[in-house]
Structure 1
Amino acid sequence: MSATSTASLPTELVLGNVRVETPVVLAPMAGITNAAYRRLCAEQGAGLYVCEMITSRGLVEGDETTKKMLVFDELETIRSVQLYGTDPKYVGQAAEILCNEYGVAHVDLNFGCPVPKVTRKGGGGALPWKRGLLGEVLEAAVAATSKYDVPLTIKTRKGLDDDHLTYLDAGRIAQESGVTAIALHGRTVEQAYSGTADWDAIAELVAHVDIPVLGNGDIWEANDAVRMVEQTGAAGVVVGRGCLGRPWLFRDLAAAFSGTPTTTVLPTLGEVRTMMLRHAELLCEHMGEERGCKEFRKHVSWYLKGFRAGGSLRHSLALVDSLETLGALLDELDPDEAYPVSELGAPRGRQGAPRKRVVLPEGWLDDQDGRGIHMQEDANEATGG
């Protein structure tokens, strides 16, 4: 158990006309933050739960894969979607479709993805290097969303690498373009998910702009979120890998920001089992049992990380094909086993090593304007940010 201080912490997050009871945002994660997972996390505590990233061109051209990702749970009170795009025309049109046809109340733009297939086309974390292009994209998106009084935010990284930092320029351009808030992941594209997030950069951005700044990176426990906000002055936090296999983290975060001292109560394996079954049931409800069970498989190792569950049981759970089978296998777990405290504060999900080099379009670093340069944008490219 760990006590959490709550002195001078924000108790809500205000993004334009969207008011979130807790200053916590679920980061969009490809193949993870679907409607079922967003519902599961929202059942634990208040926050802004963002749909996995979709491509602007895919939405504009009616790509079926893209449209299937835009599914919302019936209890989602604030529909929030992250867009990826490099062409102002497509980004603007996609933002308007989200507002007009899907009833989305919040749009976020991805300028932080470090995946090579994205950066080699000038997208994700590569795009802010081109300040002119960034301004064009933001102006088009703000023009579209403002017609519906929908707040537009962006998420970015520190820069390409330590020699090519972009976050201060990105913050200034975002503010000048009418963006409501900016989230900063305290790593460079080169770092990807390795190393340690630079919270000092988040604090520097807070001092540099007047719009709200959200901090992202290395939030594994509620105490981490509190420390980040206290150290940086951020208006809230964005949580990604820390909630993998631990949706109750949002319960702890809601408590930590509630304004009263709180104590984290760790779940037993029996309580984790209940959460796993609930997750699988929601996936099956939204996708059908066969696909839902297949989607659940990737989550097994995260839920059981650090527990003593045997290899053969884990293997069987990773091949589960029905809720009945899942329930029978989960019954084999020891419900009284205590949560492995060794896992507290430890990184979860992908980490890896820094990239040997950031993959960029040819000549990308030659100038920092890029105004009028519209990069090729795939219609069905979905990835994480």
Structure 2
Amino acid sequence: MKLGSLEVWPPVVLAPMAGITNAPFRTLCREQGGGLFVCEMITTRALVERNAKTFKMIRFEPSEKPRSIQLYGIDPTIVGKAVRMIADEDLADHVDLNFGCPVPKVTRRGGGSALPYKRNLLRAILREAVGNAGTLPVTMKMRKGIDDDHLTYLDAGRIAVEEGVSAIALHGRTAIQHYGGTADWEAIARLKEAVPEIPVLGNGDIWSADDARRMMDRTGCDGVVVGRGCLGRPWLFADLTAMCDGRDERLRPGLGEVAATMDRHATLMVECFDSEWHAVSDFRKHVGWYLKGFVVGSDLRRRLATSETLAGLREGLAELDPDQPWPEGVDVPRGKTNPRDRVHLPAGWLDDPYDLTVPGADAELETSGG
């Protein structure tokens, strides 16, 4: 898959996920297979203002190539400055723009999945981003729209092509669906038909490499974006690489191998963060995802999920049965799944889809990470 000057193989992308796709998790996934591994969402204003937390979040390992940053922004001028900064200071090799985030604190400011409804504002942001990127490829990730009455993905796709975007990723859900229901893969197929000039990547309900194969066969998309499917499953990228290479083997690690991966994940986080307590506390949310489907007693699960030190975590991991085989039927949804009853939007946001007014100065998130 070609993204501007970048050659990406296999055509697989790790979706940016707040609090998840930091350098340690990207390392684990990258060790399993190839593709493009995107860091957590970075706020354009925080980047331009050189926010210390944001600069820590765009720290890449020396072996990370290509380096990929996803930006969130609602002001074309600030987005342009952020992209120019990335290009001029060699902060990354690829820029992705977030127009898919459905969380209320983003959409109520007019950002994320709310923004493509404002066609002219979207065009202005894309124009500034591409125009300031130099040789860096600029891609975008979006949803179908705000809800079924306000679908925007086909209009947004054509605007992206006209403004020189290198590829589009479509999550086959609307903002109001959040992560509930079933992803609409047919929408991915329709987008691919509408923008044959550039690669289209499909996102939504990929829990296994076989799901990715079915999506690509059904929609004709050029690649896939994997988010929740790799939670507690970094080896999914080995399966995806095998699938793209035409091989049938799939990794099914036993509990001993899973425990070793958990240990390595937590260790990498301790090495990355300044505080062992912070690193281990942050790792704890991964415990349930790694152990999903395995037979593990409730007391041991609780102790693993409340560990405060690496030594304490390792004590619990040593109690897991290393001979327990991979459980069947666990390639199922993980993470948030519930739809929303409404999408939080700025007052009057739906009045004029072509209004170019930039949301107020306080509309952009103060810090990165979603």
Return the offset for 1:323.
Answer: 2.2
Out of 112, 135, 158, the position equivalent to 1:172 is 158
Query: Where does residue 276 of structure 1 map in the other structure?
Result: 262
Query: Where does residue 359 of structure 1 map in the other structure?
Result: 344
SS in 2 for 1:57: helix
Question: Match for 2:289: what amino acid?
Answer: W
1:267 paired with 2:267, answer no
Query: Where does residue 316 of structure 2 map in the other structure?
Result: 329
Return the offset for 1:372.
Answer: 4.0
- TM-score for both structures, normalised by structure 2: 0.97
Q: Distance in 2 between matches of 1:381 and 1:309?
A: 38
Return the offset for 1:328.
Answer: 1.7
1:78 paired with 2:66, answer yes
Question: Match for 1:160: what amino acid?
Answer: I
Query: Where does residue 286 of structure 2 map in the other structure?
Result: 299
Out of 111, 119, 124, the position equivalent to 2:99 is 111
Question: Match for 1:66: what amino acid?
Answer: T
Q: Where in structure 2 are the equivalents of 1:4-43 lying within 5 Å?
A: 13-43=1-31
SS in 1 for 2:183: coil
Q: Where in structure 2 are the equivalents of 1:100-249 lying within 5 Å?
A: 100-145=88-133, 147=134, 149-209=135-195, 210-249=197-236
Aligned partners of 1:270 and 1:335 also within 8 Å: yes
Deviations 1:86-137 (A, max 9, x none): 0001111111112222431000000011011111111000000000000000
Distance change >3 Å, CA 322–CA 102, structure 1 → 2: farther
1:99 paired with 2:87, answer yes
Question: Match for 1:135: what amino acid?
Answer: R
SS in 2 for 1:306: coil
Q: Distance in 2 between matches of 1:107 and 1:175?
A: 16
Return the offset for 1:374.
Answer: 4.1
Aligned partners of 1:185 and 1:216 also within 8 Å: yes
Distance change >3 Å, CA 151–CA 33, structure 1 → 2: same
Question: Match for 2:325: what amino acid?
Answer: A
Q: Distance in 1 between matches of 2:105 and 2:277?
A: 30
1:254 paired with 2:241, answer yes
Query: Where does residue 297 of structure 2 map in the other structure?
Result: 310
> Deviating runs (4+, > 6 A) in structure 1?
none
Q: Would you say how many aligned residue pairs link Structure 1 and Structure 2?
A: 367
Question: Match for 2:237: what amino acid?
Answer: F
Q: Which shows bigger deviation, 57-66 or 28-37?
A: 57-66
Return the offset for 1:223.
Answer: 0.2
Percent identity over the alignment? 57
Provide structure 2 residue ranges, at least 5 long, that are not aligned to the other structure.
none
Deviations 1:240-266 (A, max 9, x none): 0000000000000000001x3312231
Provide structure 1 residue ranges, at least 5 long, that are not aligned to the other structure.
1-12
Distance change >3 Å, CA 293–CA 102, structure 1 → 2: farther
SS in 2 for 1:53: strand
SS in 2 for 1:215: strand
Query: Where does residue 57 of structure 1 map in the other structure?
Result: 45
Query: Where does residue 373 of structure 1 map in the other structure?
Result: 358
Aligned partners of 1:86 and 1:375 also within 8 Å: no
Question: Match for 2:27: what amino acid?
Answer: R
Distance change >3 Å, CA 379–CA 113, structure 1 → 2: closer
Return the offset for 1:369.
Answer: 0.7
Question: Match for 1:366: what amino acid?
Answer: D
Query: Where does residue 3 of structure 1 map in the other structure?
Result: none
Question: Match for 2:203: what amino acid?
Answer: N
Q: Distance in 2 between matches of 1:168 and 1:343?
A: 34
Aligned partners of 2:154 and 2:194 also within 8 Å: yes
Aligned partners of 2:110 and 2:359 also within 8 Å: no
Aligned partners of 1:63 and 1:379 also within 8 Å: no
Return the offset for 1:375.
Answer: 4.0
SS in 1 for 2:350: helix
Return the offset for 1:325.
Answer: 2.0
